[in-house]
Structure 1
Amino acid sequence: MSTPTARRAGPREWGGLAVLSLPTVLLGLDVTVLYLALPSLAEDLHPSATQELWIMDAYGFLIAGFLITMGTLGDRIGRRKLLMIGAAAFGVVSVVAAYSDSVNVLIAARGALGIAGATLMPSTLALISNMFADPRQRSLAIGVWATSFALGMALGPVVGGAMLDRFWWGSAFLLAVPVAIVLLVAAPVLIPEYRAPGSGRFDLLSVALSLVAVLPVIYAVKRVAADGFQAPTVGTTVIGLVGAVLFVRRQGRLASPLLDVRLFANRTFSAALSVLLVGLVGVGGAMLLITQQLQLVAELPPIEAGLWMGPPALMMLVAAIGSPLVARRVPAGIVVATALGLATFGYVLLTQVTATSGVALLVAGFGLVYLGLGSIAALGTDLVVGAAPPEKAGSASAMSETVQELGLALGVATLGSLATAVYRARVDDQLPAGTPSEVADTAGDSLAGASSTADRLPAGWLDQAKEAATSGLHVAMLVAAVSTLVLAFLSAVVLRHVGTIGADEPEGDEADVAEPAGQDAAQGA
């Protein structure tokens, strides 16, 4: 831990913080901008509904799967070096994604972006701890870092909408290129290098087991929602669960594990991770379905859809900045539960949207959902990192990032697939006899498919497809509302022992929660 006489950070350190925030802004930007690009992308590449979901969530699955691995790799080769390698790779693969000429190439590029993105995040909190030795400055720096993702998500719809209004869908990926260039130029000047001493052997078997634990389960979730329970789905689920058990057992035996499973014994740590994971599942599904509603149901152009998503993103930013300030005076569990309660009301409002009701109610409901997101993202990260011992802050921050990415991806997979299943059930057998089979298959697969074949469909049938898609939104948002309400009650109960955060005097047995990650966080995991 730093002492009261620790050197205060100067202009170089604050400039370095801006550089370290760039990867977080970039990843937040990449999450939201693609939602706007999906409709025009679908018209060009004609993906199936399942392929659409893979385009959306291949990135999130792989970034979640590799975050802990890349954090350990950064300890060994240098965290700044890994950051720069990841930035270069992210920029190059973004160009490949932008000029993809087939669905399979785009899905592969999205997966590669996930792996590259995983190199950008894990070392940032530890580097911030190295650069900001003064406790008050360090706390402010971590707060700025924590809100950077929200800033990226806020910029995504507006900037992406403006680009899509003037250029083709691939331009959304090219936004990453200037960010990567700035990071590569500025990082050697403003950010010190750091390698963790005595970090131990890099265990490749643990890397493999972590992927076996995550990817088969995610695939099974997608297939169950689309096709129901089948033998291959059950088999992949079993493989994933066995992989998870083997991974946890191996981490407990290693002197230098990829993940210190003893961290989960801390109930604040485990509860905060659970809130982040479950809370972001609803948000991930809502982002996908809301952008579809704006562009395919309301038929807004990309720039207008992006502008309508601006107010909800602003609410998220306000919550991300304001919630930690409120939590200095109100117990964190109450703040989290209240934020989730507001998000629940937002989901309920979204169940009242109709295909012809306009966008005001849609934006109001989504704004409350984003308000909850900003609160749980800021406070959840603070609770996760603060609940861990200072020397484990790096590993704890990697876990926080992992569950947030995984939650968003799971939301796309589960709620997106649920809405698609409702759509298919509503439109099944509604097309009149004589409709060409390829048109019927495309239109019956998704609303994007129906829109792309609208000129070959019977008059008025597209309106029925919009009603079916809106019904899918209702069911998915109802599920999100129920799960978020349950999570709000559980948060109030499980986090009741946590006092205020960042107050002068920490409260209760979990007083370590109130402390920012210390200087030793740079030696996490």
Structure 2
Amino acid sequence: MAAPVETPQHAGRREWIGLSVLSIACLIYSMDLSVLFLAVPAIVADLDPSAAQLLWINDIYGFMVAGFLMTMGTLGDRIGRRRVLLIGAFAFGVASALAAFSQTAGQLIASRALLGIAGATIAPSTLSLIVNLFRNEAERNRAIGIWGTAFALGGLVGPLIGGLLLQYFHWGAVFLINIPVMLVLLAVAPFLLPEYKSDDAGRLDLVSVLLSLATVLPVIYGIKHMAADGFELIQLLYLAVGLFFGTVFIRRQKRLSHPLIDLALFRNPAFNASLLVNLAGIFFVFGVFLFQNLFLQLVLGLSPLRAALWSAPSALVFTIMSLQAYRFTNHFGPIRTVLGGPVVNAIGTAAMAVAAYSESLLGILGASMIIGLGFVPVILTTTGLIVGTAPPERAGSASAISETSAEFGGALGVALLGSLATLVYRTAMNGTDLRGLNAQQAEAVSETLAGAVETAQQLPISASAIWLPAAKSGFALGFSLCCIVATATLLLLALLARRVYAAARIDESALASH
């Protein structure tokens, strides 16, 4: 007689309250990526940073998060995921206070760097602890959906909360709001969250930590500057340095008995396929939505506020889908959800290509809603698969790989799709009649649509920017072409993932045991 199948225990009130605490912490971590957007003028007036210092004030947090994700995720597997989260929460609170009361630009940069290192403990620790809290697969899918909603909302509400605080308080208030949340986490986590660590993890290899930083930081730096400044040869040098140290890092991991990153995870076809689909989804959505925001303002002429209001319906779709994505996963199963997501995304990007080319506001917004319908379930489900297909003792490491992949995917999407759109724009502007403009104005018009719009606004009332419609059409054509590339790639990715998952012969019911 066959042994009965053990049903994973259902979560109780303690687990769901614990999830709430983890989600709020994740929201704060995500919010700090964008909370400074509106505080920059006040910081400039108060601290008088140089142009380079201002760039680092904005970017250092994201760079440190990306650089330390793998280290902190693996450290959680070694010394305890709850312990790493609590250490990180304490450091996050201290760094927030230091940032709030910074007297110089250098102090603020250093505080933001410490915030990033502390923040790198939060995403992988919270995600891997969710795996420990929720043993039932259906409940775990719902929990990851709530966690993902908090992560997404952090990026959306960051500028809003920052704006409200700046209206009435010193710019340092945007950091002080972190402290109460971290104090609550420190107070309740020991009672609500289980501890988990691998019994055979070994010591942390500091050389591997340094090599991982030397791999991630130059690559992220080069990609982000490629997106901001356009392609330059120096950026290839940053990428080459990162890839060199990445090769050294991988070779060292193969020799260590207790590596920083367990390369055996990448021998699992389901893990690789889920990671690839996750990265590609974020790659295209970040790139496409960047174009969407620019399109609404530069092509259709909407103010930033009106553009934000018109984007609210698609943001609402993303939020609702984050909370309801578990229903799709539970009904269709993880694999079919992941395979269907890129197809729905491809339909959305195809509709976006048509809408961009025809310069249709309603078409753009409708297409972004379709993208949300496909993107959210597949991203949250692949996140669950990445962690669920890894051994329980490697959940922290797998979570860190997932988060690092998302960082790379977002940066690559903005940089590469942005470069393609810029190339199309400049090609479209070749031969455009720019008579009446001086050399500097003609160069600005030929380089970017933002430069063309700004130049048109500077012209005297009597002058006519006859070239502006051509510039807007060139941008729309580049946006449309990027969406066509996304459509074709997403469909190919769905076919590839289908073959990989079929060959892996995954027992989806087994994922619940993790």
The alignment's TM-score, normalised by the length of structure 2, stands at 0.78
Distance 1:296 1:39 in 2: 22
Alignment of 1:12-411 (within 5 A): 12-29=14-31, 59-75=61-77, 78-87=80-89, 89-90=91-92, 113-132=115-134, 135-136=135-136, 139-141=138-140, 143-154=142-153, 156-157=155-156, 160-161=159-160, 164=163, 167=166, 177-190=176-189, 191-192=192-193, 194=195, 196=197, 197-221=199-223, 228=231, 230=233, 232-330=234-332, 332-353=334-355, 357=359, 359-411=361-413
Distance 1:355 1:43 in 2: 39
CA distance 1:372–1:441, shift in 2 (3 Å)? same
2:120 is paired with a residue of what secondary structure?
A: helix
1:256 is paired with a residue of what secondary structure?
A: coil
Distance 1:383 1:38 in 2: 38
Distance 2:456 2:127 in 1: 49
2:497 to 472, 494, 498: 494
Distance 1:321 1:124 in 2: 17
Which residue does 1:523 correspond to in 2?
none
CA distance 1:131–1:294, shift in 2 (3 Å)? same
2:215 is paired with a residue of what secondary structure?
A: helix
Distance 2:97 2:307 in 1: 25
Distance 1:474 1:106 in 2: 41
Deviations 1:317-373 (A, max 9, x none): 344444443344536444333321222232233334469956322211222222222
Q: How many residues align?
A: 502
Distance 1:297 1:102 in 2: 39
**Residue 122 of structure 1: how far off its partner (Å):** 1.5
Greater relative contact order (Cα < 8 A, sep 6+)? 1
Native 8 Å contact 1:312 1:366 kept in 2 = yes
2:505 to 509, 512, 516: 509
Native 8 Å contact 1:423 1:468 kept in 2 = yes
Which residue does 1:521 correspond to in 2?
none
- The residue type equivalent to 2:488 in the other structure is L
Distance 1:193 1:151 in 2: 21
Deviations 1:213-257 (A, max 9, x none): 233334444566755563x44443332222222111211222221
CA distance 1:202–1:154, shift in 2 (3 Å)? closer
- The residue type equivalent to 2:343 in the other structure is G
| RMSD after superposition | 4.7
**Residue 142 of structure 1: how far off its partner (Å):** 5.0
Deviations 1:277-322 (A, max 9, x none): 1221111122322223334444545444333323222322344444
CA distance 1:221–1:28, shift in 2 (3 Å)? closer
Distance 2:319 2:287 in 1: 20
Native 8 Å contact 2:224 2:415 kept in 1 = yes
State the percentage of identical aligned residues. 36
CA distance 1:25–1:510, shift in 2 (3 Å)? same
CA distance 1:10–1:222, shift in 2 (3 Å)? closer
Deviates most, 80-89 or 39-48: 39-48
Distance 1:220 1:510 in 2: 37
Which residue does 1:502 correspond to in 2?
none
CA distance 1:487–1:400, shift in 2 (3 Å)? same
Native 8 Å contact 1:164 1:302 kept in 2 = no
Runs of 5+ unmatched residues, structure 1: 500-506, 519-525
Deviations 1:457-496 (A, max 9, x none): 3557779568636634542453344245333333334335
CA distance 1:5–1:424, shift in 2 (3 Å)? closer
Q: Does 1:479 align with 2:475?
A: no
Native 8 Å contact 2:128 2:387 kept in 1 = no
**Residue 375 of structure 1: how far off its partner (Å):** 1.9
Deviations 1:436-469 (A, max 9, x none): 95x7777776555666676533557779568636
Which residue does 1:522 correspond to in 2?
none
Distance 2:148 2:310 in 1: 19
Distance 1:106 1:425 in 2: 42
- The residue type equivalent to 1:491 in the other structure is A
Deviates most, 12-21 or 336-345: 336-345
CA distance 1:155–1:79, shift in 2 (3 Å)? closer
Deviates most, 451-460 or 250-259: 451-460
CA distance 1:492–1:466, shift in 2 (3 Å)? same
1:255 is paired with a residue of what secondary structure?
A: coil
2:177 is paired with a residue of what secondary structure?
A: helix
Distance 2:268 2:160 in 1: 43
1:121 is paired with a residue of what secondary structure?
A: helix
- The residue type equivalent to 2:242 in the other structure is G
Runs of 5+ unmatched residues, structure 2: none
- The residue type equivalent to 2:493 in the other structure is L
Deviations 1:367-405 (A, max 9, x none): 222222202211111221222223322222221122122
- The residue type equivalent to 2:262 in the other structure is D
Distance 2:119 2:494 in 1: 30
CA distance 1:408–1:5, shift in 2 (3 Å)? closer
Distance 1:172 1:23 in 2: 21
**Residue 427 of structure 1: how far off its partner (Å):** 6.4
Native 8 Å contact 2:92 2:182 kept in 1 = no
CA distance 1:171–1:358, shift in 2 (3 Å)? farther
- The residue type equivalent to 1:249 in the other structure is R
Native 8 Å contact 2:339 2:494 kept in 1 = yes
Distance 1:307 1:212 in 2: 41
Deviations 1:197-224 (A, max 9, x none): 4532221211222223233334444566
CA distance 1:486–1:9, shift in 2 (3 Å)? closer
Native 8 Å contact 1:37 1:169 kept in 2 = no
Distance 1:496 1:395 in 2: 26
- The residue type equivalent to 2:401 in the other structure is M
Distance 2:393 2:347 in 1: 39
CA distance 1:263–1:297, shift in 2 (3 Å)? same
- The residue type equivalent to 2:260 in the other structure is L
